[in-house]
Structure 1
Amino acid sequence: MKRIVILGGGTGGTLAANRLSRDFGDGARITVVDRDDHHVYQPGLLFVPFGTAGGGDLVRSRPRQLADGTGYHRSEVECVDIDADRVHLADGTVLRYDALVIATGARLRPEKTAGLTGPGWRSHVDTFYDLDGAVGLASALAAFDGGRLVVDVMGLPVKCPVAPLEFCLLADWFFTVRGVREGVELTYVTPLGAAFDEPVAARTLAELLAAKNIELVTGFATGFVDGTGGRLVSADGREVGFDQAVVVPLHAGASYVDRSPGLGDERGFVRADEHTLRADVKDNIFVIGDAAALPAAKTASVTHFEGEVLARNVGQFLDGRPLDASFDGHTTCFVESGFGKALLLDFNYETGPLPGHFPAEAGLPLLKESRLNHLGKLVSSWFYWHHLLPGRDLPGMSSDAACGQAVPGTGRTLSTGFFPPRLSGPRAWRPVEAAQREEWE
């Protein structure tokens, strides 16, 4: 019986496990490893500060998302012995494998930016990229009646690179609904030379920021955060003042990667072939999702499209056959812009986001705000739990150029994004009930 070990029980690890379980049946022993039992729907964190999603709504039990028969081991990973094909866990367990899947995502490293975790951290300097920060920002924004709110991306790569832009656009909506928008100055700070790293989309998004009176500061690499004085200081000495800072900290791979010689790059991400998803370090190691050092975006949609390729290629490897599935970098996402509208972006390794419609001229508009795109986004949370994580195939949702209808003018096809619903209006955060947490245990 083949032994498949999957490190990480988040989006990539869960959908990979479920696809492999379906493909192999009783022919493989699949074990998923993670440090805790709380699967967080990370795209939903963006909406918690604005009261349109509750923290408790985003969390479910990790093993309950796995197919029957899949093993789940709760422990930190100590290291991977690449030569011996073994994973050493912090609880002393040693797992042998025939194929290893790295799916441990990206972690936040706020301590890597000078001053960020000093005075003001978790009060008037915070992030929505983890659950505690998102919940804390809900209280902070509810009490924010005027001043300068700055959204700052500390460096790249980051999970969901459009999310900080979405935060600015939703903040415009949120403060307008509260009737205090005229007294709030919104600023978006990025190390990029434009609002986004794809030229056509960058122009569209910059125009949208300008139309909503949101200042755009580009080429700003934050080197120091002065929480006491309310200042962001760039590496070249420029400064941006703030009353409330919403930051996207530097990202890195999981810490065990650093303790596993040869497994990762200098930031702890795992290098792999961008098409087959096989790790550079050894033929029986594969990587999926945010843990990968690939030129693709770190988003749930990318992970979804990677899942089919990874499962196919792991199976081919274990059967002793050449890898024949190829990932093309396909990324699709809805960009919520507030007031019941959203944009739709679709791109891959070869082609950036372009205007047009899907699936025909009367379909969903690309790179343009619309109510239709917003409605498409409303189903995303349900889709995540019931289709993406189980690893189910749907028409038009294949990794093979989405296997759907052609997008006019692009030579490609389009799929659906995977972002949260319920942008109807602010509501109170509901914590996860203690009884529910005990039940998970």
Structure 2
Amino acid sequence: MKKVVILGAGTAGTIMANKLAKMLDRKEWEIEVLDRNNIHYYQPGFLFIPFGIYSPKDVVKKKDAFIPRNVKFTVADILSIDAEENVVNLVGGEAIRYDILIVATGTVPTPSETPGLVGERWYKNIFDFYTFEGAVALHDYLKDFRGGKLVMTITELPYKCPIAPLEFVFLADAFFAKKGIRDKVEIIYTTPMSGAFTKPVATKMLSSVLEEKNITVVTDFYVEGVDEEKNIIRSYDGREVEFDGLVVVPVNLGEEFLASSGLVDDMNYVQVDKGTMQSVHKPNVFAIGDAANLPTSKAGSVAHFAADVLAENIVEYANGKAPSHQFDGHANCFIETGHGKGTLIDFDYTNEPLPGMYPLPGIGPMKLLGVTRLNHWGKLAFKLIYWEFLLKNRRLPVSSKFSLAGKKKV
């Protein structure tokens, strides 16, 4: 019996387990999923916890509830990968052999990489919301916030869910307006990018929303460190931004155990062909989702769309053929803009977000790069879609392939 091992039972790993359970010949292939725990977080929901839109219980379920019954799920800590011997070594000494390895371990917020960030003020007036614990702690802080400088800062690229920091400041604007203290809160957004987003058309649109909401943007700001005594973040070029409350997107890295595998770049992301998602170092190793060094957003939608391609390539490789299916980098994201409205972007490796309608060209009903209430409801509805359709590999009325149909060149 040959074996596929999937590392990680988050979004990407769970989708792949459900796909391959149906697509591989199970008389020839065994599938095992490894993860350090049995807690599955709906990570897009972390954004809503600080503002009381979701409660902590809304974003937590058991991982094994979404793993097919004919797929083995093992909770264990991974020590290392021996890619030469085709073995995953576990803490405690056990070794798991594989014929095909799929790395879906995501990306890890690592605040300790930024000097001064994790100190006496961590989770007191300095927070992240990219972890469950951080989001809950930030909720407790914001409910008692009465005014001052609230700073949202991005420490380094890349990081998962690139639009989440923008959503945070948009929701903060609405949150404080509802509390009647918006005039007492200065919201500042710092980014290492030269604009609000990486793509020009979307940047222009999102910048206008930031301006409309009186949110100060500080660009090309690469965080060198945090002075928690003075409540200051400092950039490498010497600029300083004061804060009363600081919300941070920490440095994101791949899992530490990958560092010695010979499969990764200097940030521990698996180096793959961007089309096939096959390792450039070992042909029987593949990576998907945030764990891969794909030149596109580290977002759940990318994992979703890429899974359709990777599953076909895994089947080809399992049957002795070279992977031939190509992922185009398709990504789309709802963006909460506050006050019950949102927008939507859709793009791939070569095409930036453009205005138009989605998913049906000319019909929608979602409006791309338009701020609408329907886009907001689409964002909220996605939680149910995620739990009941996406993870379980049930068909959704969207294509994994990017299309320019219904979009307007500007």
TM-score (ref. length: structure 1): 0.90
Identity of aligned residues (%): 43
Q: Deviations over 1:341-366 (max 9, x none)?
A: 10010000010001122334453221
Question: Residue in 2 aligned with 1:281?
Answer: 281
Within-5 A mapping of 1:121-270: 121-260=122-261, 262-270=262-270
Q: Tell me the TM-score normalized by structure 2.
A: 0.97
Which residue type is aligned with residue 36 of structure 2?
A: R
Is the contact between residue 277 and residue 288 of structure 2 (CA under 8 Å) also seen in structure 1?
Answer: yes
Q: Distance in 2 between matches of 1:224 and 1:377?
A: 34
TM-fit CA distance, 1:91: 2.6
**CA shift at 1:407, angstroms?**
2.1
Note if contact 2:33-2:71 (Cα within 8 Å) is conserved in structure 1. Answer: yes
Greater relative contact order: 1 or 2 (C-alpha under 8 angstroms, separation 6 or more)? 1
SS of equivalent to 2:176: helix
Q: Which residue of 1 aligns with 2:322?
A: 322
- Equivalent AA in structure 2 for residue 316 of structure 1: E
Matched, 1:393 2:395: yes
Q: Which residue of 2 aligns with 1:32?
A: 33
Write the letter of the residue equivalent to 2:6: I
Structure-1 separation of matches of 2:127 and 2:119: 11
| Whole-angstrom CA distance in 1 between matches of 2:160 and 2:13 | 16
Cα deviation per residue 1:57-84 (whole Å; 9 max; x = unaligned)? 1111111110111111111111111111
State whether residues 362 and 406 of structure 2, in contact with CA within 8 Å, keep that contact through their aligned partners in structure 1. no
Q: CA offsets, 1:311-355, max 9 Å, x none?
A: 111110010112122110000111011111100100000100011
Q: What is aligned with 1:46?
A: 47
Specify the alignment match of 2:370 in structure 1. Answer: 368
Deviates further, 294-303 or 26-35: 26-35
Displacement after TM superposition at 1:408 (Å): 3.3
RMSD (Å), alpha carbons: 1.4
1:407 partner amino acid: G
Indicate the residue corresponding to 1:437 in structure 2.
Answer: none
1: distance between equivalents of 2:333 and 2:274? 20
Deviation at 1:393? Answer: 2.9
- Give the equivalent residue in structure 2 for 1:406: 405
C-alpha change, 1:235 and 1:372, in structure 2 (3 Å) is: same
Q: Which runs of 5+ in 1 are unaligned?
A: 411-441
Corresponding residue SS for 1:174: helix
Distance of 1:71 and 1:400 partners within structure 2: 31
| CA positional deviation for 1:52 | 0.5
Instruction: State how far apart, in whole Å, the 2-side matches of 1:109 and 1:334 are.
Output: 25
Q: Is the 8 A contact 2:301 2:331 kept in 1?
A: yes
CA distance in 2, matches of 1:70, 1:166: 37
SS at match of 2:119: coil
Number of equivalences: 407
Over 4 Å off, 4+ runs = none
Within 1, Cα distance between the matches of 2:246 and 2:153?
7
